Structure formats: C-alpha cells, structure tokens
Structure 1
C-alpha cells in the first residue's frame, strides 16, 4: 500500500501525459525502473512490476489479466472516501499511461492501448473528449474498474537492453528497498488503521476493506490488532467518538446531522453509542463543554 501522503494533486485539466511526466518520469523510480528495463520482454517486465508495485506511486493495486487476443492491465483502487475516487483514478491512470508510453518509446515502439476503462460516470462531452484526446484511444466510462486493454502481442516484444545479470542486481536492490520500508514503518498497526478510518465520513469501510489497504487478510488484521491489545471496532468507535466530540464542541451541527456524518442510520443509534463512550448524551456533552468555556471566560 502506498501512503496517502504520496498521492500528488492532478486536477483534470492537467491530465495530459506531458504534465504527468514531471512526477512519473522513469528517473523517479530508481532501481525499480532499471529492473524493469533489464527484463527480457514486456511480459516479464509487467509481472515483475506487479510483484514490486509497492515501490511505485500508485494508490491502486495492479493486476494483469490475459485474454485470447488482448492483455488487460487492471487498476483496483484501495478503498477511499468517495470524494477522492475520481481524483485518485485520474492520477493513477495518467501516471500508468505515461510510464507505459515511456517504456514503449525506449523500445522504439509507438503503440497505444486499444482502449482505457474509467470506473466512474462519463463527464460532460467536452471533458470526455479531452480524455480521449489525451490518451489517443477509445475511453469507456462507467466501467466496473479501471484498466488498459492492450494487444496480446505487446507482451511478446523483447527488450533490447535485456540483461539477466543486471536484472538480478536490480531485483536484489528492490528487495532491499522493500525491507527498508518495512523496517522504517515503526508505527503500530492500530495507529495506522485509526488514521485511515479518520479520512472517512458517513460511510466507513469495513474490516475486510481496511485490511486490504495494509496488504492483510481480515483474519490477519484482527489477529495483529488483538496482539496490540486493540480491535477494529474499538478503533472505529474511537474515531467516531473523537469526531463527535469535535463537532459537538466546535460547531452548531445538529445531533441528527452529526449522526449522519458518523455513519449512523438514525440519531437514536448515535445517542446510544455516545452514552456508552462518555456516560452522557451528546446534548449534555455539548452543554457541559459550553458551560465550561463560559466559566473560563468570565
């Protein structure tokens, strides 16, 4: 999983590959890019790229699916707030498109995808056409997931710079980088889950979706949290409790509206949960906070 802080800002008007290249140039990938360019074929490069995708800059999981005459490079986004979905997809698709184009140029090829699938509704006609102009191929909106559809023959293209010795060297460097990342990631899993859940409002991800963000199965996530003396529901309750207290203290948002923001279907469920967390109702908590502020100011 790529930390959210590495999600760069790519508004739609800057989706053109020439602009994306400022962030996604091969030089920014270091040993990862050199490893791919040392492969014997496009297929080997793609399979290794997927295996080591954590060294890239995507906030999506890459998968390769082969059909009878096409290959489909799929981008499955990690679960994020809905407001971020199109932004992240545009960024990841534009970056992947430029990366593939750069590799093809280095191979002396000028091939474009047969089509690109976008996993959100089609925008107004002018915007949709801008996507097609930028990518130079058919763009299909409202697809179930994002993907690049390529001729299967592309995978058989040999790399002129293929070198098994160099490949082994760069692959070792990539392994070391992954190990270093894991060692540097010293925060507890509970803290990471809490920061992830704190990004959401109204609709919070479940335990399975959250586990996938950290490359774990639901069972592994529950076990690791238990080893830390915590649990997924306890963390979610803490996130909701903190947000509820902040809204009650710093805003005039109604109890009903706060319940909606915290993902409760009705205010009664929120009030019951809040009483369990703090021993009082949300309304009583708000009164106490404001009385305390008034006393402090007098």
Structure 2
C-alpha cells in the first residue's frame, strides 16, 4: 500500500500516519504489522486517492501465492481445488485478506464472498476490491489457468468499469447486497497441476505450527486493540465490542483485568496515539483534533489529554517545536 501511495505521489508518512510505523520498518523481513495498522494504512491510502476501489484492484493483483509464504506453497500443492479452499478456510489467519472470506461449493459451482462489514467505512471499498482481486488471482494460480466468472456482485460504488472488466473478465453488478463472485467448477475434486502430497503435508504442518503460535500470542487485549484501531476515530463502547467478540461485557472486563489492563486504558491508548500523531503533524488545531476524536468540546479533550500526558495539548505541541 505504501508503494501504491508512492505511485500516486503520496508520501509514505501520510500513508503510515497513526500506526507508529516508518517506511524503514517495512524493509525488515522479520517485521510484524498488526491488523489494525494495516487497516489504518488502508484508510489513509483510500482517503488520499480519487478511486479507492480501483487502487484496491491493482493491489490485489500483486498478491501472488509466492507472497503468502508457506501457506502459498500448501495451496499450490493441494490435491484439488476443493482441498485448497478448505485449507484457506482453516488457515484464514495466515492469509493476507483483512476482509472475511466466505466460500462454498455446491452442484459444481463455487461462490466466494468478501465481507468487509467489520472494517472502517473509509477503508472498506479499497479492501473489498483488494481482497476480491487477490482471491481470484489465488484461485487462478492454484488451478494453473484462466477462470471465467459467471457472476460478479459488488456492494460499493464502482466508477472505472474498464479496470473491473479487464481484471475479472466480466462487468460487475453494482449496488448488490454483497460483494462476491461465482464460477462453474465441476472439476473441483480433480487433481491440480502442481499437486504434491508430500509437499502439501509438510507445508500444512508448518502452517499449523505458525497458527498455533499466533493464537498463543493473541491476547484479549490485542484483539480489543485491533477492533478499536479498525473503528477509530469512532470507537465502539465496551458492550458493542464485547458483542463483536462474541462474549459478554462482564466477561470481557474480567479477561482484560486478568491481563492487567482495562477497556478504558485501551481506549485511552488509541485516542492518545491518534492525538499525538495529529498534534505532532502540526496540520490540525487543538479544536480540530478534539473534533476528530469525537469530543463534544475542546475542554473535554484538553482535560483527557492532561490525564494522559500530564500537560495540555498546546503545551505538548510547544514542546515539540
């Protein structure tokens, strides 16, 4: 996404704003980028280009299976398309998509649905288009040939029909209730061109270890932070967030307390980080920062900022100059 921004003349600092990342961090092979950071970057990029969906399509076309790591190897060496789709479902956290991917195989027809309902509004069209394009590219590379769609539905505004036609080989049905595509695949259980049982089993075992390690480090606090950052600046309340995590408010409070934190601390961390980023950039007034963070008035924001930083927003900005 940073590279796409550069192609549109957008400084990397603008695309990475609010993430604590700098361009040099992305050059480190071992660097880990949290989900909320990627969602924030997508929102920044979407807000800086004229046609976010078209940019998303081009981004998705760069997601070759070689960029998936060992998960890509497992997909390529799967015994059949049906097996590859099941692998993608089981190991979804190892895939590059930020949207939820739903897939089904019925009566020789496959449907792939891209659900971006949990994403912040400004990033949704870009990420829906990106993941739509990326999943289709993955299927094409797995089967080793072109794929002809029978339908393509999009739930967001599409302006550049030419790029959609060239990417999918079919015009999208705009204004649909969902974002999805379908294709005929009576051959879904046939052997794939690069099928290799030994390679697939070895790659799948490694993916299992990676997924287990990721789940072990996936604390409740980190999951809450991911949700808060994805929704920022319109942070959800604890009741809404608990429902999104399929738990109760009481249980969420208890789990966070067990990890030595609280919902208020995590919410304050997100607001403080955004405030610092805006104040340091120098482009927004204190009143504008307060409005961006959805405070009813500047005094309420100033009071909260004093609690976080020990100084007022104006004093903090003077100290940075």
Q: Please, what TM-score do these two structures have when normalized by structure 1?
A: 0.69
Specify the alignment match of 2:136 in structure 1: 97
Does the C-alpha gap of structure 1 residues 206 and 52 become closer, same or farther in structure 2, counting only changes over 3 Å? farther
2-side partners of 1:98 and 1:130: how far apart?
15
2-side partners of 1:98 and 1:79: how far apart?
23
Whether 1:63 aligns to 2:102 is yes
1-side partners of 2:253 and 2:187: how far apart?
42
| DSSP 3-state at the match of 1:65 | strand
Which of these residues, 145, 152, 157, is aligned with residue 116 of structure 1? 152
Q: Deviations over 1:78-104 (max 9, x none)?
A: 733322222222221221121111122
Contact (CA 8 Å) 2:60, 2:131: kept in 1 or not? Answer: no
Specify the alignment match of 1:134 in structure 2: 167
Q: Please, what TM-score do these two structures have when normalized by structure 2?
A: 0.65
**Unmatched segments (≥5 aa) in structure 2:** 1-32, 47-51
Does the C-alpha gap of structure 1 residues 207 and 140 become closer, same or farther in structure 2, counting only changes over 3 Å? farther
Which of these residues, 118, 124, 149, is aligned with residue 182 of structure 2? 149
- Cα RMSD of the aligned pairs, angstroms, is 4.3
Contact (CA 8 Å) 1:39, 1:163: kept in 2 or not? Answer: yes
1-side partners of 2:195 and 2:278: how far apart?
58
Q: CA deviation at 1:13?
A: 5.7
Contact (CA 8 Å) 2:76, 2:194: kept in 1 or not? Answer: yes
Q: CA deviation at 1:58?
A: 1.3
Q: CA deviation at 1:20?
A: 5.2
**Unmatched segments (≥5 aa) in structure 1:** none
Q: Deviations over 1:221-276 (max 9, x none)?
A: 54432212322244224433554577679676364x44542235x43xx7557647
1-side partners of 2:104 and 2:77: how far apart?
23
Specify the alignment match of 1:232 in structure 2: 263
Q: Which moved more, 1:46-55 or 1:216-225?
A: 216-225
Which of these residues, 172, 175, 192, is aligned with residue 205 of structure 2? 172
| DSSP 3-state at the match of 1:142 | coil
Q: Deviations over 1:3-57 (max 9, x none)?
A: 34597889636845xx855x42233334323323343321121011111122221
2-side partners of 1:26 and 1:104: how far apart?
12
Map residues 1-298 of structure 1 onto 2, 5 A cutoff. 3=35, 4-5=37-38, 12=54, 15=57, 23-66=62-105, 70-77=109-116, 79-105=118-144, 109-123=145-159, 127-151=160-184, 153-159=186-192, 161-182=194-215, 185=217, 189-190=220-221, 193-194=224-225, 197-198=228-229, 201-207=232-238, 216-219=245-248, 221-241=252-272, 243=274, 253=285, 255=287, 257-264=288-295, 266-267=296-297, 271=299, 275=303, 278=306, 285=312, 289=315, 293=318
Q: Kindly name which structure, 1 or 2, has the bigger radius of gyration based on alpha carbons.
A: 1
Equivalent residues, number: 273
